[in-house]
Amino acid sequence: MIEDDFYSTIKLKSGEEIFARVAASEEDNRTMLLVHSPITIGEIKGRKGTVGYKVEPWLKTTTDDMFIINMNDVLTLSESKDIDMILMYEDYVNQSHKDHTNRSKINRRMGYLGNVTDTKASLEKIFKSS
């Protein structure tokens, strides 16, 4: 059974701290967290203290947006009602989805000249003809 979604800060036993929309699921006497678009947040410090925040995806090498975390790997979690944090998270999620859908095809005007195989064949042809 899956509980309703809520926003949460999760501290993992590994030391990582993530923020995400979370739903808990009970399966086979285990509690799992379904984590949607988890992010990490870092402070940007200036000479006068904290001046802003840097929002990054938790896992940078995947395009997946849903992850399952075993509750045994969680040190603690805290439901968040902080409107500023939730708005920052939602803005990031909306922007990242928009970035993935608005990607254009690369072309010669962007500097793309060809793939390695085609370019190699072309250079070999020029070499053999000279």
The first and second tokens of residue 119, run together, are 């370019």
Between the ranges 40-44, 78-82, 94-98, where is the mean pLDDT highest?
Answer: 78-82
pLDDT at 102: 54
Whole-angstrom distance, CA of residue 15 vs CA of residue 75? 9
Q: Is the predicted pLDDT of residue 79 greater than 70, yes or no?
A: yes
Please give the structure tokens belonging to residue 123: 């250079």
* pLDDT over threshold 80, residue 107: no
Is the CATH code 2.30.30.100 the one for domain 6-100? yes
Q: Is residue 51's pLDDT more than 90?
A: no
Section 25-36 average pLDDT: 90
pTM: predicted TM-score of the whole model, two decimal places: 0.69
pLDDT score of 89 more than 60:
yes
At residue 62, what are phi and psi to the nearest 5 degrees?
-140, 155
For the chain, the average pLDDT equals 85
